[in-house]
Chains A and B, each alone.
Chain A
C-alpha cells in the first residue's frame, strides 16, 4: 500500500529540486542570508538580535514562497503532461498518488529549508563567532516549526490544486497563509471579547476553526530576544506539531475526496 506512495514521493523530490524557478527562489534566499550580516550594522539594536530576526524572516518568507510555487502546479502539471495517466493506469489509487505528491513536495521543501537552516548556522558560527552548540541548536528551533507551518501550507495548496487553477491557487493559498499568520490573534480577541455581538463572535469562531493557525509556529521571538520565553516550551512545540499533523490530514482528506471524483 505504501510502496507506490514512496515511489511517487521520491520522484517528486527528484523533479522538484531540479525546477529552475524553485532553485532561483532558494538562491535568492541563500544570497539574502549571506548578505544579512552586512545589513545588520544598519540597525541601532544589538547586531545579533537584528541578524537573528532578519535571517529567520528570510527563511520563513523564502520557504513560504517555495511551498506555494512548488505545490500549486503539482497536480495540474501531471494532468497537462499526461504523466498522471501512465501512473493511474497502474495499480495506484488516486489517494496514493495525491499523498505521494504531497510527501514529495514536503520532502523537497524540507531539503531546501534544511539548506537554509544550515547556512544560517554556518553564518552565525563563522561570521558572528557563535561557538556554543546550545545557542546554535536553539537557532534551529524556529526553522523546525516553520517546517511544520510550511507543511500545513503545502497541504492546503495541494488540496486546492485538485480543483482550482494554479494562478487562483497561488493567491488563495497565499491569502490563507497571510490571514492565518497575521489575523489569528485578531479573531481570538473578537471571540473572547464580552462586548462583541453574537454574529461577529460566531463568524470569528468559524473563521478561526477553518483557517489554519499559522501564528502558532511563529516562535522566533524567544530566539531573537533572550528575555522572552515560551512556557512549557517542549509541550507547546509538541501540541503545535500535533495540531499541524491533524490539519494536514484534514486538508489531504478534502483534497482526496475532490480528486477522487475529478475527471482528469
Chain B
C-alpha cells in the first residue's frame, strides 16, 4: 500500500536560553499508509504538534525529509488534498456555520451551497444555520471544524486532539465521524491523549516521547501479550514455596491469593498445581494489554536514542 505520510530523519530544533539547542523532533521516521487511521501519541511537549506543523508546511524542518501523499512537505499542490483540524480551534465568532464553510471553501475556489448544506448535515449542524460561532457549544465548534476540514474532499486529514474537552456524547459523535472518514477511503492522522478513544478507532499508532519515536506499529502488534489473573483459595504455605519456581506475582487478598502471570503456560501450571494441592480456583481473568499500559510503560522508561537510519 502507498504511504500517505513518510518521514526520514525529520528533525526540528529550537534554541533555548537555558538548555541550548533542543531537538523537539529528533530524527523522526514515520510511515502512515493510505486509508488507515493512524494515532500519534505522546505526552505534552513530546513533539506531536510540531511534527504535524512540519508535515503541513507551516514550520520548516532543520534536517531530514518528509513526504505527504508522495510530495515533499510544503508543496502547495498537496494542500489541495489535505486538511487540518487544530487543537481547540477558533473560528471567526461573528460567522454562522454556512458562512464559515463559505469562507474556507473560497480558499479552494469552492462555492457550492449544496455541498456546504450536505457537510452541515453530515456533522449534524444543519438545524443551527442561523447561530453564530459565538453561540456554538464546544462540541458544535469541533463539528464545524470537521465540516470545514472536509470541504476539499481531502485524502488525508490531520486531527489534533479532536475530542479534547468534549462531553461523552460529543466524543461519540466525533468518533463516529472519524470512523466514517476511513469508510470513505480517507487517511486520518490523529494526535491525541485520549488513549481509550485511539484504541477504539486507530489501525496503527506511534508513540513519541521527547521528540523520538519510541514505538510504531499496529495495535495488534503493540498490544501483544497481556496478563492473566488467577484467584485461588485453600492452598498451603508449602504450595507457595514450591511456586517460587514460576514468574508469578502473588498478592494476598481477603478472598485468597491473586496470581498475576504473563505467560499462558505459567497460568496452566498454577491451575494444575492448585488442583493437585486440593485448593480452589475462584477465578481466571485474562487481562488484555491496554494502550494506556503501553503508553505509560513507554513514556516512563528510559528514552531511546534517536535512530540515525532505517525504520524504528
Contact = CB atoms under 8 A, between A and B. Distances in A.
A83 B90 contact: yes
B83 interface: yes
Interface residues on A, range: 20 to 34
B53 A85 contact: yes
Contact of B59 (A7, A82, A263): A263
A222 interface: no
Given A89-B82, A89-B84, A90-B108, A18 B94 contact: yes
Contacts of A83: 89-92
B126 interface: no
Given A3-B109, A91-B108, A11 B103 contact: yes
B107 A7 contact: yes
A15 B95 CA distance: 9
A122 interface: no
A92 B107 contact: yes
Contact of B90 (A7, A81, A90, A93): A81
A38 interface: no
Interface residues on B, range: 20 to 34
Contacts of B82: 89
B92 A88 contact: no
Interface string B66-108: 0000000000110110111111111110110000000110111
Contacts of B104: 86, 90
A251 B46 CA distance: 38
Contacts of A18: 94
A264 interface: yes
A81 B91 CA distance: 8
Nearest to A3: B109
Contacts of B57: 88-89
B79 A82 contact: no
Contact of B106 (A7, A89, A93): A7
Interface string A240-264: 0000000000000000000001011
B58 interface: yes
Contacts of B117: none
B17 to A, nearest CB: 16
A76 interface: no
Interface in B141-190: 145, 148-149, 152, 158
Nearest to A8: B107
A10 to B, nearest CB: 8
A123 B158 CA distance: 56
A261 B273 CA distance: 69
A159 to B, nearest CB: 21
A91 B107 contact: yes
A52 to B, nearest CB: 36
A57 interface: no
A185 interface: no
Contact of B152 (A82, A85, A86, A90): A90
Contact of B95 (A14, A90, A264): A14
A209 B103 CA distance: 40
Interface string A171-191: 000000000000000000000
A90 B95 CA distance: 19
A4 interface: yes
B92 A11 contact: yes
Give the interface centre of A7, A14, A83, A85 by most chain B CB atoms within 10 Å: A85
List of 4 A-B pairs having minimum Cβ-Cβ separation, nearest first: A89-B84, A81-B90, A7-B106, A90-B107
9 contacts: A7-B107, A83-B92, A85-B56, A86-B91, A89-B58, A89-B83, A89-B158, A91-B108, A92-B79
Interface of A: 3-4, 7, 10-11, 14-15, 18, 81-83, 85-93, 261, 263-264
Given A86-B86, A88-B58, A264-B59, 9 more contacts: A3-B109, A7-B106, A10-B103, A14-B92, A14-B94, A86-B84, A86-B104, A86-B145, A90-B104
